[in-house]
């Protein structure tokens, strides 16, 4: 499973890259707005740090505008992945962009039917939103499972499932069990995945016992 960091904060990217766990980055207009920085400068800076795909989202709502914006975003860096919404206009833009050789992340997916359409349009990634479904009382993990089953039925569909709107370590565990190809997650959730109370207490006991020996490794 690939891990994408969901952020537009450059310092977070720099910090988490040092762990060796980050395979790419996803951004969106909301994350860019929260960062308070220029979009193009932010994407360029992240792309200079990260070898893998960096999703940058269009803001046009018609397919011609999405294609124009997508082509502009792709000029920022070779590893930019154009992010488009899952609408009919977005699907048409996906088809045109992928036909031209541009990677596309289709976002705001909330149904298996939408995911099937995105794959047919040639999407590189499909981003089903787990947390937002949970917010309205629908189990977001059921959507990941449905998409996995459909895509596995048709090996010719090469679209990768990018589990998005991840809010917890539980979301990560279930996404991995179901077989999502990628997960995009906040830095906090990635850090929380490393935590367990037994690890903390065990380490404390080991260090206490070691201190009693009076020894030093170096």
- Within 10 angstroms of residue 205's Cβ, the number of other Cβ atoms is 10
Dihedral-angle region of residue 122 (phi above 0 means left; psi in -120 to 50 means alpha; beta otherwise): left
- pTM score, two decimals? 0.95
- pLDDT, tens digit, 9 for 90 and up, residues 106-158: 999 999 999 999 999 999 999 999 999 999 999 999 999 999 999 999 999 99
Mean of pLDDT values over 38-61: 97
Q: What is the mean pLDDT of residues 173-189?
A: 98
Q: Percent of the chain beyond pLDDT 90? A: 100
Q: What is the pLDDT of residue 122?
A: 98
Q: Which residues of 87-120 are buried (b: 16+ CB within 10 A; e: fewer)?
A: bebbbbbbbbbbeeebbbbbbbbbebebbbbbbe
Q: Give the up-direction half-sphere exposure of residue 26: CA atoms within 13 A in the CB hemisphere.
A: 27
Catalytic entry in 2, 34, 83, 191: 83
Q: Looking at residues 33-38, what average pLDDT do you find?
A: 92
Alpha helices, DSSP H, located in 36-168: 39-49, 63-74, 88-99, 112-121, 130-135, 140-153
Structural domains for the chain: 2-213 (3.20.20.70)
Q: How confident is the model at residue 36 (pLDDT cuts 50, 70, 90)?
A: very high
Q: Could you confirm whether 83 is annotated as catalytic?
A: yes
CB 183 within 8 A of CB 166: yes
Q: Kindly report the backbone phi and psi dihedral angles of residue 157, in degrees, each rounded to the nearest multiple of 5, phi listed first.
A: -80, 115
Q: What is the pLDDT of residue 7?
A: 97
């Amino acid at each position: 499973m690939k891990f994408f960091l969901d952020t537009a904060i450059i310092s977070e990217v720099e910090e988490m890259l040092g762990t060796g766990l980050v395979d790419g980055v996803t951004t969106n207009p909301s994350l860019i707005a929260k960062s308070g920085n220029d979009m193009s400068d932010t994407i360029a800076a992240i792309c200079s740090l990260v070898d893998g795909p960096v999703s940058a989202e269009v803001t046009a709502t018609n397919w011609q505008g999405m294609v124009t914006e997508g082509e502009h975003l792709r000029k920022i860096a070779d590893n930019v992945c154009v992010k488009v919404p899952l609408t009919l206009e977005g699907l048409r833009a996906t088809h045109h962009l992928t036909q031209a050789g541009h990677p596309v992340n289709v976002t705001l997916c909330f149904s298996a039917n939408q995911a099937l359409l995105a794959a047919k349009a040639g999407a590189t990634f499909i981003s089903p939103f787990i947390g937002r479904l949970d917010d309205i009382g629908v189990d977001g993990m059921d959507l990941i499972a449905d998409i996995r089953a459909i895509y596995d039925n048709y090996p010719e569909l090469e679209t990768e499932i990018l589990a998005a709107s991840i809010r917890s370590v539980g979301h990560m565990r279930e996404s991995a069990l179901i077989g999502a190809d990628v997960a995009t997650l906040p830095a906090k959730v990635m850090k929380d995945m490393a935590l367990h109370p037994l690890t903390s207490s065990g380490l404390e006991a080991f260090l206490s016992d070691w201190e009693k020996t009076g020894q030093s490794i170096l």
